[in-house]
Amino acid sequence: MRYSTIIIIAALLLTGGYTYAQNAQLISDKEKAMILQMREEEKMARDVYLSLNEKWDHHVFTNISGSESHHMSLVKLLMDKFNLPDPVTKNNDKRGLFDNGSLQRMYNELTASGMESTEAAFRAGAKVEETDINDLVNAIAETSNADIKSTYQYLLQASYNHLRAFVRNLKKLGFIYQPILLSTEDYDKILDDDKGHGRH
């Protein structure tokens, strides 16, 4: 992701006449909770990929972990805009440590399974991205706030790209990936859709 994109989104998020306290009143508790979840969910993805890269030293983990770091920064802009406490800062951004219990379990599970083989590592990455896609689609449907929606839509397109990257790498090893969380119809559309298709 280009830094110019971050700057543009930051300007959109942080400009305006409202104070942080006033901004916090503009979104629902559900929207606030989802922002907190997405902050740690992007961290979970980054942390899984960093750990797997230490084991397998593969460019897909190097590149996508960097992308996830940028995504964490974008969600942090939303947190700042709406004056939300940051669990990542609270935990000193320690790798593998999360306030969200579900994300903690997912990190533990996928990091462990991904250590078994490169195939298992790519499958772990694909599951991370399927989870992210499901949660982002639901989050977009639950908000009417333009800043939140545009940020989530950007993250969603990136997750599509990341999922395709893991599927491609599994195919190079001779394996066909079958979706775990996505419907076959949605999964096939993501693979066939060239929109936003890029190598991360």
Map tokens 């940020």 to a residue. Answer: 151
Residues near 101 by Cβ (< 8 Å), separated by ≥ 6?
none
With bands split at pLDDT 50, 70 and 90, how would you rate the model's confidence at 194? Answer: low
The whole-number pLDDT of residue 42 equals: 98
Identify the burial level of 78 via C-beta atoms within 10 angstroms of its C-beta, where 0-12 means exposed, 13-18 middle and 19 or more buried. Answer: buried
- Residue 74 token pair: 């974008």
Domains of the chain, earliest start first? 3-192 (1.20.1260.10)
Query: For residue 115, what pLDDT band results from cuts at 50, 70 and 90?
Result: very high
Residue 43, both tokens: 């961290």
User: What are 4-61's pLDDT values in tens digits?
Assistant: 554 445 545 544 444 444 555 589 999 999 999 999 999 999 999 999 999 999 999 9
pTM: predicted TM-score of the whole model, two decimal places: 0.85
Q: Per-residue pLDDT tens for 78-93?
A: 999 999 999 999 999 9
Kindly tell me the burial class for residue 27, based on how many C-beta atoms sit within 10 Å of its own C-beta (0-12, 13-18, 19 or more).
Answer: buried
Dist CA 159 CA 186 (whole Å):
13
User: 3-state secondary structure string, the chain?
Assistant: CCHHHHHHHHHHHHCCCCCHHHHHCCCCHHHHHHHHHHHHHHHHHHHHHHHHHHHHCCHHHHHHHHHHHHHHHHHHHHHHHCCCCCHHHHCCCCCCCCCCHHHHHHHHHHHHHHCCCHHHHHHHHHHHHHHHHHHHHHHHHCCCCHHHHHHHHHHHHHHHHHHHHHHHHHHHCCCCCCCCCCCHHHHHHHHHCCCCCCCC
